[in-house]
Amino acid sequence: MTRVAIYARYSSAMQKAASIEDQVRLCLERASRNGWTVSQTYTDMAISGASLHRPGLQSLLDEAARGRIDVVLCEALDRLSRDQADVATLYKQLSFHGAGIETLSEGEISELHVGLKGTMNQLFLKDLAAKTRRGLRGRVEAGKSGGGNAFGYDVVRRLGTDGQPVTGERTINETEAAIVRRIFAEFADGTTPLAIVRHLNDDGLPGPRGKLWRDTAIRGHLARGTGILNNKLYLGRLVWNRMRYVKDPATGKRVSRMKSEAEWITHEVPDLRIVSDDLWHQVKTRQGEIDATPAVQGIRKSRFWEKRRAEHLLTGKIVCAAYGGTVTAVGRDYLACTNARKFGTCDQPQSYRRGDLDAAVLDLLRDSLMQPDAVAEFVAAFGIAVNAKRIKEVETRKRTRAALKETEHRLAGLYDAIADGFRTPGLLQKLEEAEARKAELEAQLNTPEPSPVRLHPGLSELYRRKVADLAASLQDTTIRPKALDTLRGLIQRVKVRTDTTSGGPVLELEGAITAMIEEASPGALRGVDQCSVKVVAGVGFEPTTFRL
């Protein structure tokens, strides 16, 4: 029995979600004609094909690595990727796991398709980028926006004489413009960006996107022209083409690179001026003085941005329980709430030793999240939820069988009519529609029914042993990255606050219990929708609670 996984994707806002349904329907028809069993369907919506880092595609590769896929079926090779190198990588990975690729457009994919089609798709991306940039440059040369908007301006939405929307026009937002002038004036008078932020937040003035002000939004990056203090649009000068973007082959993410000033496109837009030449000059003079200080020069010489920062167990996972602020490093070994330390908008300014928090979270993972009684409660609740879903699936399959039987009965009548000599165009059209409907229903019924969930009776002990081994692996530098990734995958979020009585930290750990089960007993939840299941455990004065 050939096990087939269908993959479908659409990328841009110009396409619609129905594109996914169309792709899947056509693939189901092909699978039905070939007598294949569709085991799973993977989709990525509104995600570019220029990167492999897509949730649906990564899930497909994980299943292939477990040996559960024989053929990956999609509409065309460019649905998997438009990048030539990525297409070759996908082909190698799937071939290594014993899975082939077949598309509706190209048929069975071979090395020849990978080379030729990958090159064509790569050229398509390059040509599309060039045409897009050409169009954007034309807009900038006409004094219009090349994309995005800046604080202090409103986007103008109107129709042109041809009835089409006019894009790229902006007008000054006087309320926000007053805030911009205030920021420039306070900085020119010697106020630091951090102090300016506190003044703005204390006065209840909303920042960009309506959120709290942050000092980085004000100071930005001097050389790149980012941040309130460096935006030349406030001077009535539109600057475009300062940056270029390249894809990092290791991560698939775009990385920015500065272009030489000779490549910049500058256009005067006096109608958009907000600050005076004198005020702009005062700000630039003070920035130059700050840049020339020994402290800043020492930071520049260190080139710290080129050094990869070590990822810790709680990096990006921990928040302040009081108001949900980000908890970040304040020094080498300590963490604290950013809202409390920088903006004064939180009453939890205490710092916590990173090692103590890591140890507490590891204890929670090992001892609190998989207590036998709690696991038994989860298994029972999860079984009820899964069974309820299965009942719906059974009912759906019953309705599909009934629809198939009705379609077959209708087809038999059409066949009899044709056998009796009827040949009208309308009759033939109805025949084709009925046959297509039958193929679609048969493809739906060819999908195997989900197997029952069987969890290991000693699941909690298996899990505890696994976490203990992983925690020990953190001390081994050769396998630390893998162990760290696995442990971080078990953690969804950690909330921390300081107890007013003892002064010690109180933690609440939220983890994806399905990831924990998969780590303890791989394959135990195969075929189960795992996205919405999580578990919460607290330490200190918080009760340990589990929820679905």
73 vs 71: CA distance, rounded Å = 6
Q: Residue 81 corresponds to which tokens in the numbers above?
A: 């990727």
Please return the burial class of 35, using the count of CB atoms within 10 Å of its CB with bins 0-12, 13-18 and 19+: exposed
7 vs 45: CA distance, rounded Å = 11
Alpha-carbon torsion 372, 375, 376, 377, what sign? Answer: positive
Decide if domain 3-127 falls under CATH 3.40.50.1390.
yes
Closest CA to 317 of 488, 507, 454: 488
Q: Residue 527 corresponds to which tokens in the numbers above?
A: 């075929």
Give domain limits for the chain: 3-127, 170-306, 308-390+454-548, 391-446
**Are the CB atoms for 13 and 45 separated by under 8 Å?**
no
Mapped onto helix, strand or coil, the DSSP state of residue 107 is: strand
Asked whether the domain spanning 170-306 has the same topology as the one spanning 3-127, the reply is no
262 vs 278: CA distance, rounded Å = 26
Closest CA to 510 of 534, 539, 540, 485: 534
Q: Which CATH class is domain 170-306?
A: alpha beta
489 vs 492: CA distance, rounded Å = 7
Q: Which helix (H) or strand (E) holds 368?
A: none
Alpha-carbon torsion 336, 342, 344, 346, what sign? Answer: negative
pLDDT tens-place values along the chain, 548 residues long: 788 999 988 775 444 555 788 888 899 888 888 888 888 888 887 666 556 777 788 888 888 888 889 999 999 888 888 777 788 888 889 999 899 999 998 888 888 777 776 677 677 767 777 777 777 777 777 778 777 788 999 988 888 888 788 778 889 999 999 999 999 999 999 999 989 998 998 898 988 888 888 888 999 888 888 899 999 999 999 888 888 877 676 666 777 888 888 888 888 889 999 999 999 999 999 999 998 888 888 877 877 666 655 678 888 888 898 888 888 888 778 899 988 887 777 888 888 988 888 888 888 777 766 666 666 666 666 656 656 666 677 778 788 888 888 888 888 887 777 777 766 777 777 877 888 888 888 877 776 665 555 555 566 677 777 777 877 877 777 777 777 877 887 788 888 888 877 777 888 887 766 666 666 666 555 544 444 344 555 444 233 333 32
| pTM to 2 decimal places | 0.55
Q: Residue 311 corresponds to which tokens in the numbers above?
A: 């990822």
